[in-house]
Amino acid sequence: MASTSRASAHRIGSLLFCPACGTLLDLPKDDEDEIACAQCGRLEPSSSYENLPTKTYSSPTAFPSALRSKRALVQDQLTDGERAKEKDPVAQEKCQKCGNIGLSYKVMQLRSADEGSTVFYKCLKCGDQTSVNN
């Protein structure tokens, strides 16, 4: 019954990104069952958060160790096929949060090819994640 190609939010580790515009979605509040995309207003059911690898953290810095969340990240990407078996490349970029040099990155093609791609960076030290639209 369930299809793997339904249009739900893109999951990167414990983060969800709007499938329509690629914006990072907020965490749902206790009394909300939908999260509205700040960019395009698309509604994502907060149930999308329920099976995330880490659902209880109170601050953006409270990610699990970089290695563990990197593993979760790779497993999430497995469903997307392509780059799955490869190890993430590492860019000699500086983390905005902790100043560490060395961010693993991956390029993700969002829905349509003519909208360009999004590069997701992840700090190998503190796990801080950022995305850049090309």
* Residues near Zn ion, by CB under 5 A: 18, 20-21, 23, 37, 39-40, 42, 95, 97-98, 100, 123, 125-126, 128
Q: Is 12 annotated as a binding residue?
A: no
Q: Is 98 annotated as a binding residue?
A: yes
What stretches of 1-131 show up as alpha helix (H) in DSSP? 66-78
Q: Is 114 annotated as a binding residue?
A: no
d(CA 58, CA 53): 15
To Zn ion, the closest distance from the beta carbon of 7 in angstroms equals: 12
To Zn ion, the closest distance from the beta carbon of 45 in angstroms equals: 14
Residues 6+ apart with CB under 8 A from 126: 61, 63, 66, 95, 97, 98, 100
To Zn ion, the closest distance from the beta carbon of 9 in angstroms equals: 9
- Residue type for 118, please? T
Q: Which is nearer to Zn ion, 81 or 92 (CB)?
A: 92
